[in-house]
Structure 1
């Protein structure tokens, strides 16, 4: 049963079309500096604890840009950056755990990293959590995450719009008390941030 659940979880993420995160506006930096940096300089800065260098080094290992593709090294560097609260690293790490990219599928770790990114206002993470819960037929939880994804002030307007559409679809399958419970949970989530 556990293997079946992991297989379904992985299959969902391989086909869900969830984009990998780029370092975005909520993390200020001149990204071109890190994107253009040699691997040796990037590795040196990442090893010295530079969280932006860690993120870009992980991204290069994940995608095989200027270095051999290595998901294990991507996980290692994303984890270092994620532990320093680099939100896109938390998002990408959560997605890698969800997909089983470089690691065994681990829904608990996926949720842990996605929730950390969501708490930092990344609605791509809350949207991904909604997709997980919807796929598992946890519709009240999915509604909560879609509601959070659609709120003002969230990072990505395109995701906000997609979440609004999903809210309308889910509402057709939920009672008014389920919707009220989901909204209450979403409000509580923001209050505990």
Structure 2
């Protein structure tokens, strides 16, 4: 499916591919080493290897992952393959709207192969690309052509992030209403799927624990009913269930408060270094006490957890990962400055 992409007349790609073909084909182990060093061509070649099964067991999930990574690093052919995977649902969840956004990025650079792909997508699906995502795309292209659009691009990124935060808060509130209004017998113990950044993550874990505890108590209550438990034991179980529901309600309120707190920081337009630092701390979920004794090791541990939320494979996005990396750089610089002081 993807391996024939190099035959498509994508300007600028054939030269790069030809330069590699002049060298003896590297092994999968060599490709993995190069890919780990962030070599886009090696990442693309590794994706082809996993797709075709040449030198490695065929694995479309791994193939799509390496296409996505190479695409993030600007590899045009990999971007086409990743868009096609999203279009067809090969090795990843089907997402026609995101595929259309990637095809658009290729089309505006003159890649003719993307034209028909866009036509097919808009003919077959109801493509819904949020306006803030479109603004990020076009301002990004404009900023590459002229530095005067860099501020507009940064503001578009902020609006995109704020819009996604609002959708996440709305979804959480709706989930809270459904949970609190549901009968005890049908409390949903399914983890809430969210793209929200830390500090939501640890609170979501607590919320999940509370729901699972309520479910366990409910099952115990039923078991005791079947074995003719005493009325006193039944009443105690009911009280425990009510207590768990109160804890769940409190946790969801805490999540909302943290979201609003971060929103207030994000809306301050972080143009000064101090404002950027405060926003970076908020993005990582560090409170005032955390900042006093923050170490690089602690920071990297938090970054590893956050990456699992922001990463596109975890229903995050490329721009959210970019914002996370920018925040990491800001905090690292502050820690290094404090060490020198």
Deviations 1:59-101 (A, max 9, x none): 1111212111111111211111111211111111111111110
Kept after mapping to 2: 8 A contact 1:34/1:42: no
Aligned with 1:118 (options 82, 97, 107): 107
Q: What is the RMSD of the two structures over their aligned residues, measured on CA atoms? A: 2.9
Deviation at 1:134, TM superposition (A): 2.9
Paired residue total:
126
* Aligned residue in 2 for 1:26: 12
Kept after mapping to 1: 8 A contact 2:44/2:67: yes
Q: Cα–Cα, structure 1 residues 108 and 134, in superposed 2: closer, same or farther, change >3 Å?
A: closer
Kept after mapping to 2: 8 A contact 1:58/1:73: yes
Query: Within 1, Cα distance between the matches of 2:23 and 2:102?
Result: 23
Task: Report the TM-score when normalising by structure 1.
Answer: 0.56
Answer with 1 or 2: which has the greater Rg.
Answer: 2
Q: How does 1:1-193 map to 2 (within 5 A)?
A: 20-22=4-6, 25-27=11-13, 28-29=15-16, 30-32=19-21, 36-136=25-125
Deviation at 1:125, TM superposition (A): 1.3
Question: What's the secondary structure of 1:66's corresponding residue?
Answer: coil
The answer for unaligned runs of 5 or more in structure 1 is: 1-16, 139-190
Deviation at 1:133, TM superposition (A): 2.0
Deviation at 1:119, TM superposition (A): 2.2
The answer for unaligned runs of 5 or more in structure 2 is: 128-140, 146-341
Task: Report the TM-score when normalising by structure 2.
Answer: 0.33
Question: What's the secondary structure of 2:41's corresponding residue?
Answer: helix
Q: Cα–Cα, structure 1 residues 33 and 46, in superposed 2: closer, same or farther, change >3 Å?
A: farther
